[in-house]
Chains A and B, each alone.
Chain A
Amino acid sequence: MGMQAFLDVFDIYLLEAVINGILLGGVLALLALGLNLIFGVIDVTWICYAELVMIGMYGMYFMVQYYGFSYFVAAPLTILLVAVLGAALHYLVIAPLLTAPPINQLLATGGVLFVLQSFATVAFGIDFRNLGIRLPVLALGDMNFSYARLLSFVAALVGMVAVYLFMTRTFTGTAIRAISQDRQIMALMGVDTKRIYLITSALGGALAGLAACLLVLQYDVHPFVGLSFGPITFLICVLGGLGNFIGGFIASFVFAEIISLGGLFSDLEWGYVLAFAFFIVMMFIRPAGLLTRRR
Protein backbone atom coordinates (compact mmCIF):
# COMPACT_ATOMS: atom_id res chain seq x y z
CA MET A 1 0.00 0.00 0.00
CA GLY A 2 1.46 3.33 -1.09
CA MET A 3 1.75 6.29 1.23
CA GLN A 4 -0.81 8.27 -0.75
CA ALA A 5 -3.46 5.57 -0.51
CA PHE A 6 -2.92 5.38 3.23
CA LEU A 7 -3.41 9.13 3.60
CA ASP A 8 -6.61 9.10 1.54
CA VAL A 9 -8.21 6.48 3.75
CA PHE A 10 -6.87 8.09 6.91
CA ASP A 11 -8.20 11.55 6.06
CA ILE A 12 -11.69 10.27 5.41
CA TYR A 13 -11.82 8.48 8.75
CA LEU A 14 -10.32 11.48 10.50
CA LEU A 15 -12.93 13.79 9.00
CA GLU A 16 -15.67 11.35 9.91
CA ALA A 17 -14.42 11.22 13.49
CA VAL A 18 -14.18 15.01 13.71
CA ILE A 19 -17.77 15.40 12.47
CA ASN A 20 -19.02 12.67 14.80
CA GLY A 21 -17.25 14.52 17.61
CA ILE A 22 -19.13 17.70 16.76
CA LEU A 23 -22.42 15.76 16.71
CA LEU A 24 -21.66 14.24 20.13
CA GLY A 25 -20.63 17.67 21.43
CA GLY A 26 -24.09 19.08 20.76
CA VAL A 27 -25.81 16.69 23.14
CA LEU A 28 -23.07 17.02 25.77
CA ALA A 29 -23.43 20.81 25.54
CA LEU A 30 -27.16 20.45 26.20
CA LEU A 31 -26.47 18.44 29.37
CA ALA A 32 -23.76 20.87 30.46
CA LEU A 33 -26.10 23.82 29.94
CA GLY A 34 -28.74 22.28 32.21
CA LEU A 35 -26.26 21.55 34.98
CA ASN A 36 -24.61 24.98 34.65
CA LEU A 37 -27.97 26.70 34.76
CA ILE A 38 -28.82 25.08 38.09
CA PHE A 39 -25.39 25.78 39.50
CA GLY A 40 -25.19 29.35 38.18
CA VAL A 41 -28.59 30.39 39.46
CA ILE A 42 -29.23 28.33 42.61
CA ASP A 43 -25.58 27.66 43.53
CA VAL A 44 -26.33 23.96 43.97
CA THR A 45 -24.88 21.01 42.05
CA TRP A 46 -27.39 18.37 41.03
CA ILE A 47 -25.23 15.25 41.36
CA CYS A 48 -28.27 13.28 40.19
CA TYR A 49 -28.62 15.22 36.92
CA ALA A 50 -27.87 12.25 34.64
CA GLU A 51 -30.36 10.15 36.62
CA LEU A 52 -33.10 12.61 35.66
CA VAL A 53 -32.07 11.86 32.06
CA MET A 54 -32.31 8.13 32.83
CA ILE A 55 -35.88 8.53 34.13
CA GLY A 56 -36.71 10.52 31.00
CA MET A 57 -35.30 7.72 28.82
CA TYR A 58 -37.55 5.23 30.61
CA GLY A 59 -40.44 7.63 30.06
CA MET A 60 -39.71 7.58 26.34
CA TYR A 61 -39.34 3.81 26.35
CA PHE A 62 -42.68 3.16 28.05
CA MET A 63 -44.59 5.77 26.07
CA VAL A 64 -43.27 4.52 22.73
CA GLN A 65 -42.92 0.77 23.30
CA TYR A 66 -45.61 0.11 25.86
CA TYR A 67 -48.32 2.66 25.11
CA GLY A 68 -47.58 2.96 21.42
CA PHE A 69 -47.21 6.75 21.30
CA SER A 70 -45.35 8.13 18.33
CA TYR A 71 -41.87 9.46 19.05
CA PHE A 72 -42.92 13.05 18.43
CA VAL A 73 -45.85 12.81 20.86
CA ALA A 74 -43.77 11.08 23.52
CA ALA A 75 -40.90 13.61 23.32
CA PRO A 76 -42.77 16.73 24.55
CA LEU A 77 -44.49 14.64 27.24
CA THR A 78 -41.10 13.38 28.42
CA ILE A 79 -39.68 16.92 28.48
CA LEU A 80 -42.67 17.98 30.58
CA LEU A 81 -42.31 14.95 32.88
CA VAL A 82 -38.63 15.62 33.63
CA ALA A 83 -39.32 19.37 34.03
CA VAL A 84 -41.86 18.51 36.74
CA LEU A 85 -39.32 16.11 38.25
CA GLY A 86 -36.72 18.93 38.31
CA ALA A 87 -39.15 21.30 40.02
CA ALA A 88 -40.08 18.57 42.53
CA LEU A 89 -36.39 17.90 43.23
CA HIS A 90 -35.93 21.57 44.03
CA TYR A 91 -39.07 21.89 46.10
CA LEU A 92 -38.60 18.70 48.14
CA VAL A 93 -34.83 18.38 48.46
CA ILE A 94 -33.00 21.61 47.60
CA ALA A 95 -35.32 24.32 48.98
CA PRO A 96 -35.16 23.02 52.57
CA LEU A 97 -31.34 22.91 52.30
CA LEU A 98 -30.74 26.26 50.58
CA THR A 99 -28.97 27.76 53.56
CA ALA A 100 -27.27 24.49 54.57
CA PRO A 101 -23.53 23.96 53.96
CA PRO A 102 -22.75 22.95 50.32
CA ILE A 103 -21.59 19.48 51.41
CA ASN A 104 -25.07 18.73 52.76
CA GLN A 105 -26.68 19.78 49.49
CA LEU A 106 -24.18 17.62 47.61
CA LEU A 107 -24.91 14.62 49.83
CA ALA A 108 -28.66 15.15 49.47
CA THR A 109 -28.61 15.21 45.66
CA GLY A 110 -26.15 12.30 45.77
CA GLY A 111 -28.76 10.47 47.84
CA VAL A 112 -31.38 11.25 45.20
CA LEU A 113 -29.03 9.66 42.63
CA PHE A 114 -29.09 6.34 44.50
CA VAL A 115 -32.82 6.60 45.15
CA LEU A 116 -33.53 7.07 41.45
CA GLN A 117 -31.15 4.26 40.43
CA SER A 118 -32.64 1.88 42.98
CA PHE A 119 -36.16 2.92 42.07
CA ALA A 120 -35.46 2.18 38.40
CA THR A 121 -33.89 -1.17 39.27
CA VAL A 122 -36.88 -2.25 41.36
CA ALA A 123 -39.53 -0.84 39.06
CA PHE A 124 -38.07 -1.59 35.64
CA GLY A 125 -35.49 -4.32 36.27
CA ILE A 126 -31.91 -4.34 35.01
CA ASP A 127 -32.71 -5.30 31.42
CA PHE A 128 -31.35 -3.12 28.64
CA ARG A 129 -34.28 -1.68 26.72
CA ASN A 130 -34.58 0.38 23.58
CA LEU A 131 -37.20 2.12 21.50
CA GLY A 132 -36.91 -0.37 18.69
CA ILE A 133 -36.49 2.57 16.34
CA ARG A 134 -33.51 2.09 14.05
CA LEU A 135 -32.84 5.22 12.06
CA PRO A 136 -31.00 4.87 8.75
CA VAL A 137 -27.42 5.86 8.13
CA LEU A 138 -26.46 8.76 5.92
CA ALA A 139 -23.61 7.91 3.54
CA LEU A 140 -21.54 10.82 2.29
CA GLY A 141 -18.92 9.38 -0.01
CA ASP A 142 -17.03 6.90 2.17
CA MET A 143 -18.25 8.47 5.40
CA ASN A 144 -21.24 7.23 7.39
CA PHE A 145 -23.30 9.29 9.81
CA SER A 146 -26.27 8.00 11.74
CA TYR A 147 -29.48 9.98 11.42
CA ALA A 148 -29.96 9.54 15.15
CA ARG A 149 -26.83 11.59 15.79
CA LEU A 150 -27.68 14.21 13.20
CA LEU A 151 -31.20 14.60 14.59
CA SER A 152 -29.85 14.79 18.14
CA PHE A 153 -27.34 17.45 17.19
CA VAL A 154 -29.93 19.63 15.45
CA ALA A 155 -32.49 19.19 18.26
CA ALA A 156 -29.85 20.00 20.89
CA LEU A 157 -28.91 23.19 19.04
CA VAL A 158 -32.57 24.19 18.73
CA GLY A 159 -33.00 23.55 22.47
CA MET A 160 -30.00 25.71 23.33
CA VAL A 161 -31.15 28.54 21.04
CA ALA A 162 -34.59 28.39 22.69
CA VAL A 163 -32.98 28.69 26.13
CA TYR A 164 -30.83 31.59 24.90
CA LEU A 165 -33.89 33.44 23.58
CA PHE A 166 -35.79 32.79 26.81
CA MET A 167 -32.89 34.06 28.92
CA THR A 168 -32.34 37.23 26.88
CA ARG A 169 -35.81 38.22 25.68
CA THR A 170 -38.13 37.62 28.63
CA PHE A 171 -38.47 39.30 32.02
CA THR A 172 -38.23 35.95 33.79
CA GLY A 173 -35.11 35.00 31.80
CA THR A 174 -33.49 38.33 32.66
CA ALA A 175 -34.29 37.75 36.33
CA ILE A 176 -32.65 34.30 36.08
CA ARG A 177 -29.47 35.96 34.79
CA ALA A 178 -29.66 38.74 37.39
CA ILE A 179 -30.26 36.59 40.44
CA SER A 180 -26.73 35.17 40.72
CA GLN A 181 -25.27 38.69 40.57
CA ASP A 182 -27.17 40.04 43.57
CA ARG A 183 -29.54 37.71 45.41
CA GLN A 184 -30.44 40.08 48.26
CA ILE A 185 -31.92 42.92 46.24
CA MET A 186 -34.14 40.78 44.01
CA ALA A 187 -37.09 41.56 46.32
CA LEU A 188 -36.63 45.27 45.56
CA MET A 189 -37.28 44.42 41.90
CA GLY A 190 -40.49 42.66 42.90
CA VAL A 191 -38.92 39.28 42.18
CA ASP A 192 -39.89 36.29 44.30
CA THR A 193 -36.58 34.39 44.35
CA LYS A 194 -38.29 31.15 45.41
CA ARG A 195 -40.38 31.24 42.27
CA ILE A 196 -37.36 31.95 40.05
CA TYR A 197 -35.52 28.99 41.61
CA LEU A 198 -38.50 26.75 40.88
CA ILE A 199 -38.72 27.93 37.25
CA THR A 200 -34.97 27.45 36.80
CA SER A 201 -35.19 23.93 38.22
CA ALA A 202 -38.04 23.11 35.85
CA LEU A 203 -35.98 24.49 32.97
CA GLY A 204 -32.95 22.41 34.03
CA GLY A 205 -35.26 19.40 34.18
CA ALA A 206 -36.69 20.19 30.73
CA LEU A 207 -33.15 20.22 29.29
CA ALA A 208 -32.48 16.82 30.90
CA GLY A 209 -35.79 15.65 29.38
CA LEU A 210 -34.78 16.84 25.91
CA ALA A 211 -31.41 15.11 26.30
CA ALA A 212 -33.28 11.93 27.29
CA CYS A 213 -35.37 12.07 24.10
CA LEU A 214 -32.18 12.34 22.04
CA LEU A 215 -29.98 9.86 23.90
CA VAL A 216 -32.67 7.19 23.83
CA LEU A 217 -32.23 7.11 20.05
CA GLN A 218 -28.59 6.09 20.43
CA TYR A 219 -28.33 4.20 23.70
CA ASP A 220 -30.23 1.43 25.46
CA VAL A 221 -31.94 2.36 28.74
CA HIS A 222 -31.01 0.66 31.99
CA PRO A 223 -30.97 1.89 35.60
CA PHE A 224 -27.26 2.77 35.46
CA VAL A 225 -27.20 4.48 32.08
CA GLY A 226 -26.70 7.81 33.88
CA LEU A 227 -23.15 6.71 34.67
CA SER A 228 -22.31 6.73 30.94
CA PHE A 229 -22.73 10.48 30.62
CA GLY A 230 -23.17 11.91 34.15
CA PRO A 231 -19.46 11.97 35.04
CA ILE A 232 -18.43 13.38 31.65
CA THR A 233 -21.02 16.17 32.06
CA PHE A 234 -19.49 17.11 35.41
CA LEU A 235 -15.98 17.15 33.93
CA ILE A 236 -17.23 19.41 31.13
CA CYS A 237 -18.84 21.83 33.56
CA VAL A 238 -15.78 21.94 35.80
CA LEU A 239 -13.43 22.38 32.84
CA GLY A 240 -15.61 25.15 31.43
CA GLY A 241 -15.88 26.77 34.86
CA LEU A 242 -18.95 25.83 36.91
CA GLY A 243 -21.81 28.17 36.07
CA ASN A 244 -20.08 29.52 32.96
CA PHE A 245 -22.39 28.80 30.01
CA ILE A 246 -19.92 29.67 27.26
CA GLY A 247 -17.09 27.76 28.94
CA GLY A 248 -19.34 24.71 29.25
CA PHE A 249 -20.30 24.96 25.59
CA ILE A 250 -16.67 25.06 24.43
CA ALA A 251 -15.60 22.32 26.85
CA SER A 252 -18.38 20.05 25.52
CA PHE A 253 -16.89 20.11 22.04
CA VAL A 254 -13.32 19.75 23.33
CA PHE A 255 -14.31 16.60 25.23
CA ALA A 256 -16.45 15.25 22.40
CA GLU A 257 -13.54 15.60 19.97
CA ILE A 258 -11.11 13.90 22.34
CA ILE A 259 -13.53 11.00 22.79
CA SER A 260 -14.27 10.74 19.09
CA LEU A 261 -10.68 11.11 17.86
CA GLY A 262 -9.33 8.94 20.68
CA GLY A 263 -11.83 6.29 19.61
CA LEU A 264 -10.52 6.52 16.06
CA PHE A 265 -7.06 5.39 17.02
CA SER A 266 -8.24 2.51 19.19
CA ASP A 267 -11.50 1.67 20.99
CA LEU A 268 -14.16 4.12 22.11
CA GLU A 269 -13.27 3.27 25.72
CA TRP A 270 -9.80 4.64 25.11
CA GLY A 271 -11.42 7.85 23.94
CA TYR A 272 -12.97 8.18 27.41
CA VAL A 273 -9.66 7.35 29.07
CA LEU A 274 -7.98 10.09 27.06
CA ALA A 275 -10.75 12.54 27.92
CA PHE A 276 -10.41 11.89 31.65
CA ALA A 277 -6.59 12.05 31.45
CA PHE A 278 -6.91 15.37 29.62
CA PHE A 279 -9.18 16.63 32.37
CA ILE A 280 -6.71 15.71 35.10
CA VAL A 281 -3.87 17.47 33.26
CA MET A 282 -6.05 20.55 32.68
CA MET A 283 -6.96 20.71 36.35
CA PHE A 284 -3.25 21.19 37.10
CA ILE A 285 -2.77 23.78 34.37
CA ARG A 286 -6.04 25.71 34.69
CA PRO A 287 -7.71 24.77 37.98
CA ALA A 288 -10.38 27.47 37.58
CA GLY A 289 -11.52 26.12 34.22
CA LEU A 290 -10.90 27.00 30.57
CA LEU A 291 -12.49 30.40 30.99
CA THR A 292 -12.43 31.76 34.50
CA ARG A 293 -15.94 32.32 35.73
CA ARG A 294 -17.31 35.80 35.22
CA ARG A 295 -18.53 37.09 38.57
Chain B
Amino acid sequence: MLELRGVNAGYGTFQALFDVNLDVKAGEAVGVIGPNGAGKTTLMRVISGLIRPSRGLIKMEGVDLVATPAHKIVSLGIAHVPENRRLFPQLTVDDNLKMGAFMKEARDHYAERLEVVFDLFPRLKERRHQMAGTMSGGEQQMCAIGRAMMSNPKLLLLDEPSAGLAPVVVQQVFELVKRIRASGLTVLIVEQNVQQVLKVVDRAYLIEAGTIRSSGTSAEMLASDTVKEAYLGV
Protein backbone atom coordinates (compact mmCIF):
# COMPACT_ATOMS: atom_id res chain seq x y z
CA MET B 1 0.00 0.00 0.00
CA LEU B 2 2.67 2.47 1.07
CA GLU B 3 6.27 2.24 -0.02
CA LEU B 4 9.29 4.40 0.69
CA ARG B 5 12.48 3.87 -1.29
CA GLY B 6 15.78 5.56 -0.52
CA VAL B 7 14.18 8.57 1.15
CA ASN B 8 16.37 11.40 2.40
CA ALA B 9 14.72 14.32 4.16
CA GLY B 10 15.48 17.12 6.58
CA TYR B 11 15.03 20.72 7.56
CA GLY B 12 17.23 23.23 5.75
CA THR B 13 20.79 21.99 6.03
CA PHE B 14 19.91 19.48 8.74
CA GLN B 15 19.30 16.00 7.38
CA ALA B 16 16.98 13.87 9.52
CA LEU B 17 16.38 10.80 7.34
CA PHE B 18 19.02 8.80 5.45
CA ASP B 19 18.10 6.32 2.71
CA VAL B 20 14.91 5.10 4.39
CA ASN B 21 13.15 2.06 2.90
CA LEU B 22 9.80 1.11 4.39
CA ASP B 23 6.70 -0.82 3.33
CA VAL B 24 3.19 -1.02 4.72
CA LYS B 25 0.85 -3.60 3.22
CA ALA B 26 -2.93 -3.25 3.22
CA GLY B 27 -4.48 -4.41 6.48
CA GLU B 28 -1.20 -4.37 8.40
CA ALA B 29 -0.31 -2.49 11.54
CA VAL B 30 3.31 -1.42 11.42
CA GLY B 31 5.29 0.23 14.21
CA VAL B 32 8.29 2.54 14.00
CA ILE B 33 10.29 2.59 17.21
CA GLY B 34 13.43 4.43 18.19
CA PRO B 35 14.81 7.07 20.54
CA ASN B 36 13.96 10.76 20.67
CA GLY B 37 15.26 12.66 17.67
CA ALA B 38 15.78 9.53 15.57
CA GLY B 39 13.65 10.93 12.77
CA LYS B 40 10.34 9.20 13.57
CA THR B 41 8.24 12.35 13.33
CA THR B 42 10.12 13.46 10.22
CA LEU B 43 9.23 10.12 8.66
CA MET B 44 5.53 10.75 9.29
CA ARG B 45 5.75 14.32 8.02
CA VAL B 46 7.49 13.30 4.82
CA ILE B 47 4.74 10.74 4.09
CA SER B 48 1.88 13.21 4.59
CA GLY B 49 3.70 15.91 2.61
CA LEU B 50 4.34 18.42 5.40
CA ILE B 51 7.99 18.27 4.40
CA ARG B 52 9.41 17.13 1.09
CA PRO B 53 12.10 14.50 0.61
CA SER B 54 15.36 15.72 -0.88
CA ARG B 55 15.77 12.34 -2.56
CA GLY B 56 13.85 9.11 -2.94
CA LEU B 57 10.47 7.75 -3.81
CA ILE B 58 7.23 7.64 -1.82
CA LYS B 59 4.20 5.89 -3.26
CA MET B 60 0.69 5.27 -1.98
CA GLU B 61 -1.10 2.55 -3.95
CA GLY B 62 1.16 3.35 -6.87
CA VAL B 63 0.56 7.13 -6.76
CA ASP B 64 3.70 9.25 -6.43
CA LEU B 65 3.29 11.28 -3.21
CA VAL B 66 6.36 13.42 -3.87
CA ALA B 67 4.61 14.95 -6.89
CA THR B 68 1.28 15.39 -5.05
CA PRO B 69 0.56 18.73 -3.31
CA ALA B 70 0.42 18.26 0.48
CA HIS B 71 -3.26 19.18 0.77
CA LYS B 72 -4.21 16.52 -1.80
CA ILE B 73 -2.47 13.63 -0.05
CA VAL B 74 -5.36 13.18 2.41
CA SER B 75 -7.63 12.54 -0.60
CA LEU B 76 -5.46 9.53 -1.46
CA GLY B 77 -6.53 7.92 1.81
CA ILE B 78 -3.72 8.94 4.17
CA ALA B 79 -4.77 10.56 7.44
CA HIS B 80 -2.07 11.82 9.78
CA VAL B 81 -2.62 12.26 13.52
CA PRO B 82 0.27 14.60 14.29
CA GLU B 83 2.57 14.61 17.28
CA ASN B 84 1.03 16.45 20.25
CA ARG B 85 -2.40 16.01 18.65
CA ARG B 86 -2.47 19.54 17.20
CA LEU B 87 -6.19 20.09 17.64
CA PHE B 88 -7.68 23.51 16.98
CA PRO B 89 -7.99 24.45 20.67
CA GLN B 90 -10.45 27.31 20.19
CA LEU B 91 -12.81 25.29 18.03
CA THR B 92 -15.43 22.91 19.39
CA VAL B 93 -15.05 19.15 19.07
CA ASP B 94 -17.68 19.27 16.32
CA ASP B 95 -15.75 21.89 14.37
CA ASN B 96 -12.49 19.94 14.77
CA LEU B 97 -14.19 16.87 13.34
CA LYS B 98 -15.64 19.02 10.57
CA MET B 99 -12.12 20.06 9.60
CA GLY B 100 -11.20 16.37 9.31
CA ALA B 101 -13.93 16.04 6.68
CA PHE B 102 -12.93 19.16 4.75
CA MET B 103 -11.98 17.52 1.48
CA LYS B 104 -14.71 17.08 -1.11
CA GLU B 105 -15.00 13.27 -0.92
CA ALA B 106 -15.40 13.31 2.88
CA ARG B 107 -17.71 16.33 2.92
CA ASP B 108 -20.30 14.42 0.92
CA HIS B 109 -20.39 11.70 3.61
CA TYR B 110 -20.03 14.02 6.59
CA ALA B 111 -23.11 12.80 8.52
CA GLU B 112 -22.19 9.11 8.08
CA ARG B 113 -18.60 9.64 9.11
CA LEU B 114 -19.66 11.62 12.15
CA GLU B 115 -21.77 8.65 13.23
CA VAL B 116 -18.86 6.23 12.72
CA VAL B 117 -16.55 8.43 14.80
CA PHE B 118 -19.12 8.94 17.56
CA ASP B 119 -19.67 5.15 17.66
CA LEU B 120 -15.95 4.68 18.09
CA PHE B 121 -15.66 7.50 20.67
CA PRO B 122 -18.97 8.01 22.49
CA ARG B 123 -17.14 10.45 24.78
CA LEU B 124 -16.66 12.84 21.87
CA LYS B 125 -20.40 12.95 21.30
CA GLU B 126 -20.91 14.05 24.90
CA ARG B 127 -18.26 16.72 24.46
CA ARG B 128 -19.17 17.83 20.95
CA HIS B 129 -19.93 21.46 21.86
CA GLN B 130 -16.90 21.85 24.14
CA MET B 131 -13.76 23.72 23.06
CA ALA B 132 -11.21 21.06 22.14
CA GLY B 133 -8.46 22.81 24.13
CA THR B 134 -10.39 22.46 27.40
CA MET B 135 -10.56 18.64 27.32
CA SER B 136 -8.26 16.18 29.08
CA GLY B 137 -5.23 14.79 27.23
CA GLY B 138 -6.92 11.44 26.60
CA GLU B 139 -10.07 13.07 25.23
CA GLN B 140 -7.94 15.32 23.02
CA GLN B 141 -6.18 12.24 21.65
CA MET B 142 -9.57 10.70 20.89
CA CYS B 143 -10.59 13.88 19.14
CA ALA B 144 -7.36 13.94 17.11
CA ILE B 145 -7.84 10.32 16.02
CA GLY B 146 -11.54 10.99 15.38
CA ARG B 147 -10.65 14.00 13.24
CA ALA B 148 -8.34 11.82 11.14
CA MET B 149 -11.03 9.12 10.86
CA MET B 150 -13.50 11.68 9.45
CA SER B 151 -11.73 11.52 6.08
CA ASN B 152 -12.46 7.75 5.86
CA PRO B 153 -8.77 6.94 5.38
CA LYS B 154 -7.21 3.71 4.18
CA LEU B 155 -3.97 4.37 6.06
CA LEU B 156 -3.79 6.02 9.46
CA LEU B 157 -0.49 7.59 10.55
CA LEU B 158 -0.26 7.84 14.34
CA ASP B 159 2.60 9.92 15.71
CA GLU B 160 3.29 9.20 19.39
CA PRO B 161 -0.35 8.78 20.43
CA SER B 162 0.65 7.95 24.02
CA ALA B 163 2.96 10.96 24.55
CA GLY B 164 2.14 13.12 27.55
CA LEU B 165 -0.72 10.93 28.77
CA ALA B 166 -1.21 9.33 32.17
CA PRO B 167 -0.38 5.57 32.29
CA VAL B 168 -4.06 4.56 32.59
CA VAL B 169 -4.91 6.71 29.57
CA VAL B 170 -1.98 5.23 27.62
CA GLN B 171 -3.60 1.82 28.08
CA GLN B 172 -6.87 3.20 26.73
CA VAL B 173 -5.14 4.71 23.71
CA PHE B 174 -3.57 1.38 22.81
CA GLU B 175 -6.94 -0.31 23.25
CA LEU B 176 -8.27 2.23 20.77
CA VAL B 177 -5.52 1.43 18.30
CA LYS B 178 -6.48 -2.24 18.56
CA ARG B 179 -10.11 -1.40 17.83
CA ILE B 180 -9.16 0.77 14.86
CA ARG B 181 -7.06 -2.11 13.54
CA ALA B 182 -9.97 -4.49 14.00
CA SER B 183 -12.09 -2.24 11.82
CA GLY B 184 -9.78 -3.11 8.94
CA LEU B 185 -7.77 0.09 8.77
CA THR B 186 -4.08 -0.02 7.93
CA VAL B 187 -2.00 1.68 10.61
CA LEU B 188 1.53 3.06 10.73
CA ILE B 189 2.35 4.04 14.29
CA VAL B 190 5.39 5.82 15.70
CA GLU B 191 6.00 5.24 19.40
CA GLN B 192 8.55 5.55 22.15
CA ASN B 193 6.49 3.22 24.29
CA VAL B 194 8.10 0.16 22.71
CA GLN B 195 6.65 -2.48 25.05
CA GLN B 196 3.10 -1.35 24.40
CA VAL B 197 3.37 -0.72 20.68
CA LEU B 198 4.87 -4.13 19.94
CA LYS B 199 1.72 -5.68 21.44
CA VAL B 200 -0.55 -4.03 18.87
CA VAL B 201 1.49 -4.11 15.65
CA ASP B 202 2.34 -6.98 13.29
CA ARG B 203 5.77 -5.70 12.32
CA ALA B 204 8.08 -2.94 13.40
CA TYR B 205 11.06 -0.95 12.18
CA LEU B 206 13.79 0.29 14.49
CA ILE B 207 15.07 3.70 13.48
CA GLU B 208 18.17 5.35 14.94
CA ALA B 209 19.85 8.58 13.84
CA GLY B 210 17.66 8.77 10.75
CA THR B 211 18.52 5.28 9.50
CA ILE B 212 16.49 2.07 9.64
CA ARG B 213 18.63 -0.24 11.83
CA SER B 214 16.47 -3.35 11.78
CA SER B 215 13.00 -4.60 11.14
CA GLY B 216 10.93 -7.69 11.78
CA THR B 217 7.74 -9.08 13.22
CA SER B 218 6.72 -7.97 16.70
CA ALA B 219 7.90 -11.28 18.14
CA GLU B 220 11.29 -10.96 16.41
CA MET B 221 11.69 -7.39 17.61
CA LEU B 222 10.78 -8.35 21.19
CA ALA B 223 13.35 -11.13 21.06
CA SER B 224 16.09 -9.02 19.47
CA ASP B 225 18.98 -8.12 21.75
CA THR B 226 19.32 -4.53 20.51
CA VAL B 227 15.68 -3.78 21.19
CA LYS B 228 15.73 -5.56 24.54
CA GLU B 229 18.80 -3.74 25.82
CA ALA B 230 18.09 -0.28 24.53
CA TYR B 231 14.30 -0.01 24.78
CA LEU B 232 12.88 -2.63 27.06
CA GLY B 233 15.46 -2.33 29.82
CA VAL B 234 16.00 -6.06 30.23
Contact = CB atoms under 8 A, between A and B. Distances in A.
Nearest to A186: B71
A181 B70 contact: no
B82 A185 contact: yes
Interface stretch (A124-132, A138-146, A151-159, A170-178): A170-178
A171 B150 CA distance: 13
A190 B82 contact: no
A294 B99 CA distance: 20
A115 interface: no
Interface size class of A (residues with CB under 8 A): 10 to 19
A182 interface: yes
Contacts of B101: 171
Contact of A185 (B86, B90, B91, B106): B86
B11 interface: no
Contacts of A193: 71
A187 B50 contact: yes
Contacts of B48: 187-188
B50 A178 contact: no
A189 B69 contact: no
B95 A192 contact: no
B147 to A, nearest CB: 8
B172 to A, nearest CB: 24
B114 interface: no
B89 interface: yes
Interface residues of B, number: 29
Interface in B64-83: 69-75, 79-80, 82
B44 to A, nearest CB: 10
Interface in A112-137: none
Contacts of B107: 171
Nearest to B75: A190
B168 to A, nearest CB: 28
A188 B74 contact: yes
B91 A187 contact: no
Contacts of A191: 71, 99, 102
A171 B73 CA distance: 19
B86 A187 contact: no
B218 interface: no
A189 B90 contact: no
Given A174-B95, A178-B99, A184-B50, A189 B89 contact: no
A185 B49 CA distance: 10
Interface string B189-205: 00000000000000000
Q: Nearest 10 CB-CB pairs, A to B?
A: A190-B103, A187-B70, A190-B74, A187-B71, A181-B88, A178-B88, A192-B71, A189-B99, A189-B102, A188-B80
18 contacts: A171-B98, A171-B101, A174-B102, A177-B88, A178-B99, A185-B50, A187-B48, A187-B70, A187-B71, A187-B73, A188-B79, A188-B80, A189-B71, A190-B74, A190-B75, A190-B102, A191-B71, A192-B69
